[in-house]
Each structure stands twice: as C-alpha cells, then as structure tokens.
Amino acid sequence: MLDWAALRGINLQLAWVGYEQIFLESFRELGLTDDDILPFFSGPAFQSWNRFGNIQGSWGADNFTKDESVLPLSFIEAQFALQKRIVARMVELGITPVLPAFPGFVPSTLRKVRPDAKVTAAPNWFREEKLGRYTRDLFLDPLDKTYAELQRLFVKKQIEAFGNVTNVYTLDQFNELSPASGDEAYLTDVAANTYAGLAAANPAAVWLLQGWLFYSSRLFWTQPRIEAYLGGVREPRSMLVLDLFSESNPQWQRTRSYAGRPWIWCQLHDFGGNMALEGRVHNLTRGPIEALSQSTSLVGMGLTPEAYEGNEIVYDLLLDQAWSDTPIDTYSYFRDWIKTRYTVAAAPSSSPPCAGGGQALLPEELYDAWEILRTSVYSNNRSDIPQVPVSTYQLRPAISGIANRTGHSPHPTALHYDPALLRTAWRLMFKAASSTRRSALWQEPAFQLDFVDVTRQVLSNDFDTLYANLVGAYHDSIALASGGRHARPSCSRSVRRWGAKLLRLLSVLDSVLRTHEHFTLRRWVDAADAWAAAGGGQLFWFNARSQVTVWQADAPRLNDYAAKAWAGLVGTYYRRRWAIFVDTLVQASCEGRTVDEGALERNLTSFERAWQQSGQGEAEVAPLGPGLRSVAEELAAAGEENG
C-alpha cells in the first residue's frame, strides 16, 4: 500500500500502527502496571474507536477468561516492530509519516498514581446507553499538568524509536464526543495546552486535526466555538486540518477555511469498508478546483476512507486531479485508465502484432461498459446518498425501514442510478471477455476482480426487487385474511415462492464471491489467525467475526456497520438471517396473522450470537479464472432464459 501511495504522489500519510506500545511505555513511567493499562485497550478490530476515546476494553469480553480478553503484549510488541518498518519505508519513499500524539483518553486506574488529576467521563458514544462499561472513557483535562507530561512522553518516545522523521502529529480529542464545556475561553485553553505539550517535545510540531467533529457535532460547533478552539494554536501553520468529507459534506466554507488554518480537501467516500459501487466524479474534479479559487489556505488533496475495498478509479481520479489546475475530463480519463488497468497479452492469431509490444487491443464493449459505469454508479450527485451504500441483504431483516434508505447514519441502501444500466454494463463486460478470440480477459487479474465486483452489485440490486415482492406478498396475504376471504393458502404460496427466490439469489451471490479471494471471509479470518500465532487467538478470532457483523448485541444500531460482500459471510450469515425472516413470514401468512416482531428479533439475536462464536463461513475459494467464467456463463444463460 505504501508503494501504491508513493506512485500516486502521496507525500503525507498516517502511521498509527503500534500506538499501544507508546501508550504502555508512557503510562508505565507514571507508575501504572501492565495490569492497570492493558484492560483499557480494545481488541485489534476495534482499536480505531478505542484510540479516539469512543470505547474502552474488548467488546465481547464476557465470552472469555480475563486473560483471553486482554490485548496480548506479544501483539502490541509485534505491531510496534511493524510500525518501525512502516516508518522506515515511508521515509525511504519520501512520504512524511503522521505519528500519533496523546489525545487525552486514560484508563480509570490513572487515579491510583495521580489521584488529583482532573478527569471527566466522556459522553456515551452515539449517546448509546446500552454500551455500558465499554464507553464513557475518561478524558484527562488538557489544562491538567499530567496531560502535558504525557504529551511530552508520547512525542519523545516516538522520536527515540523512529528518529526525527516528522513534525506532524495526529490528535483528535472530540471525535463524535463533545467537550466538557462550550465556553469559548475553555476551548481556547484546551487547544493551547494541547499544542504546548506537543511543542515541548518538538518545537516544530504540526497538529493534524480531522475536521470530522465540525460535521458530526455541528450543532455544538458554532463558528465562534470553532474559531476559539482553532485559535488556541496561535501560529496557523502549526495546525493542519483535514476537511474529511469534502466530496459530499465539505465544512471548509462554513468554518471560513478553518479560521485560516491550512487544510486539505479530502475524499472520505467509504464508511466501514462497505463495498457497493459508488463515486462522485463530478465533485472530485470540480470541487477541489473551486476550493482553490475561493480559499487561500487550501494546501493539498487527500484520501480519508475508513477502508479501501474497491472503487479504485475514484481514488486514482482525485489523486490525479491534484496535479491539474483544471477539472479532468472524466470521459477521456476513464478510457485511459482502462487501457492501463487491463494489460492482457494478445492471443496467437494470424493478425499483425498490436501496437504496444504484443498487448491486445481491448474490446470496445469493455470501454462501453465502463462508460455506463462512469455515467451511472460513478456519477452520484444526490446529497441524500452521500457515501458508499450498504446492500439491503446485509442488514438485519425487517418488514420495513431497511430498503431504499437515505442519509448518512445509518448507512444508506438507496440507489442513485437505474439498476438496469448496471446490468447492461455487466452484459458488455461478459461479451468483451467471451466473444473475442484475442482477449485473455478471463485470466486478467484486474478484470477478474472488476467482473466479480460488478456481478456482485447486479445481484445485490436484484435482491431489493425480490425483497419488495416478498414483503408485498406478505401484506397481501394479511389484507386478504383480515377481510375474511379464504385465500390464505394461495397467499402463503406466494410468500413462499418469493422467499425461495430471495434465498436462491443469496446462494448464487455466495458462489460468485467464492471465485475470488478478495471477496472471502476466510481471507479476513486467516489474517486474524496469523496475528494470533503468539497469543490472543480467541479474542482475535472473535473480533474479526464481530467487526463485520454484531458489534454489541445490546446496542444494535452499531451492528452491520462494517458489512461486507464476502463469500462465507453471505452464505452462512446473511442468507441464514433471511431464511429466519422468510420462515417467519410464511408461517404468519399461513396463519393469517401479522408477524410477531418481538419473536423475530429474539430469533435473529440468538442466531447472530451463535454465529459469532462458531467457525461457520470460512470456506475455501473456488479456482480463479475458470471458476469465474463458469459462474458467469451460468448467470448469462439464466438471464437469457428470464428475458
């Protein structure tokens, strides 16, 4: 990934791996023991939220012994060793590492060694009371002398470990959390003392701040409060703000270019590693140019996705736009991008050699398919669908409230394009790979990935139609039953028929995903197992399965946040949840009554908890290339039969 970044001109990148080692060493110097510190850390799959002060401890710890629920020292040390290699490679490539500073979140055991330290409990993350002991992290007031001491330790220890490789430090104190006070003088003092701690260890320090707080807590962060907080750092160039969600919800205008602080125009795009096809090519090419003409403190463009699971072209597009002072022509860009992406060799034939040293000319159908993608899935201009959506089948089944959903949180499921267009693009891609003798696209790794991705999205869109028909058949059956008409057996057959179609589609989707390793649950769980070789096996394994399914059973609004289109996950988790739903609707329809939604919720919860602790879904991957082509031909034949 570092080489990928360097090749695209990235010169500043987050390097946050191994943060827990610095945390441990710093708090040890205050007199805390490892037993005092380690329970504060979250498991590997939830470390980001722990570092931001949203959660503490390992979710699901009740499933393990005390020792099993604690992040192993062996893992922390291995991560820190990896961080040393990452930082060294960044420096070698000319990328400035952004290292973590001390944000202020502390274990409750701090009171053992600093009983007078001024700490306050942060609000429940997402105002979710049911998170209980896993939230309300303690925040050490930046005005307290211990805060400055810890800040110096964090920076000093990293300089000792990595050398003088950077002046830029990431530090976010109020990520989806509100400060203890809205008083402007207090906010100024917080920022001033925070930066003073940084500067004490590195006088040239630059505080990198995510601008997300000004969007997620915009009711709190009025312009006077924003200016008070940012103004605590007297020298504007000592702060760098990421306008985190510029392509959909930019904040630089309302914050007056972050009160004149240097800032970066960023594409967030993907929350939770969701995998739907989506992009905003118009905003990516015009938004930064407009910002350049209107803001004197814009200093760069960047990427801030929560995960990188697909849609590669929109990331390439923004990074190329950074080198142009006029909007890129996306029609030409897509065609050029395709030429470099699919580097298939010409098959033997009597035709003269192709220009380019034997590289096959790509079929025109492939360009046509990508032109449809450019003007449909990658031309999202809807403000109510601001990001990569999730697919309806990935959400907990319900009679209503999950399909055609808009907004940012919970994640949208609505489409901003006509799904028939995507099916046409799929047919063109299939034809391009199947109908030309000179094409070796089925063996081209990039095409394999893209074709599975488009196929996945087509089937995901089809699911919405089947779901609507299933729920419609259920409502029809209830309406007939309530009217006293004797048509319940017929209606239950309709519910059963649509339910069978829906479940069959999920089985087909699982088969498609199984043809490529990138789309498998097994790859994810194997990575967790590899890190657990020296300890922490149960915690890591449970964390891996939990992050993509149930975060906290008692706080369901967070569940399915990081939903994935992975073989194994689709077949053994999503499909089985929907089988419970279908069976529930069939039974209710046959009995002429409405669904007992409480019983449905209990059945789904019971299944989810059992799956989390099982070994289901970690299936082998089908052979690449031939396996994909075989599945694609079956889908094409089925499509022709269905008209």
Nearest to 456 by CA among 276, 234, 330: 276
What is the Cα–Cα distance from 141 to 501, expressed in whole angstroms? Answer: 57
Nearest to 79 by CA among 522, 524, 538, 535: 535
pLDDT of 639 reads 66
What is the Cα–Cα distance from 535 to 41, expressed in whole angstroms? Answer: 16
Q: pLDDT tens digits for 515-548? A: 999 999 999 999 998 988 777 788 999 999 999 9
| Class of residue 159 by CB neighbours under 10 A (exposed 0-12, middle 13-18, buried 19+) | middle
Name the helix (H) or strand (E) containing 152. Answer: helix 145-162
Q: Where are the alpha helices (DSSP H) in 299-418?
A: 312-321, 330-341, 364-375
The reported pTM is 0.94
Residue type, 204: A
Consecutive 10-residue runs of the chain (643 residues): their mean pLDDT?
Answer: 96 98 99 97 95 89 77 96 98 98 97 96 75 86 95 97 98 94 97 96 98 96 98 98 98 98 99 98 98 98 96 98 98 98 64 48 95 99 98 98 96 98 97 77 94 97 98 93 63 92 96 94 91 82 93 84 96 98 96 95 95 76 68 77 47
* Neighbour tally for 481: CB within 10 Å: 21
pLDDT of 619 reads 62
Q: pLDDT tens digits for 368-404? A: 999 999 999 999 999 999 999 999 999 999 999 999 9
| Class of residue 40 by CB neighbours under 10 A (exposed 0-12, middle 13-18, buried 19+) | buried
pLDDT of 351 reads 44
Nearest to 29 by CA among 187, 111, 121, 149: 149
Q: What domains appear along the chain, each with residue ranges and CATH number?
A: 2-329 (3.20.20.80), 440-641 (1.20.120.670)
pLDDT of 604 reads 97
Please give, one letter per residue, the 3-state secondary structure of 253-291.
CCCHHHHHCCEEEEECCCCCCCCCCCCEHHHHHHHHHHH
pLDDT of 623 reads 60
**Token pair of 154 as six digits:** 């964090």
Q: pLDDT tens digits for 548-586? A: 999 987 777 889 999 999 999 999 999 999 999 999 999
Spell out the residues 6+ positions from residue 47 whose beta carbon is closer than 8 angstroms to its own: 19, 20, 41
| Class of residue 325 by CB neighbours under 10 A (exposed 0-12, middle 13-18, buried 19+) | exposed
**Token pair of 175 as six digits:** 């990520």
What is the Cα–Cα distance from 13 to 319, expressed in whole angstroms? Answer: 14
Residues in the chain: 643
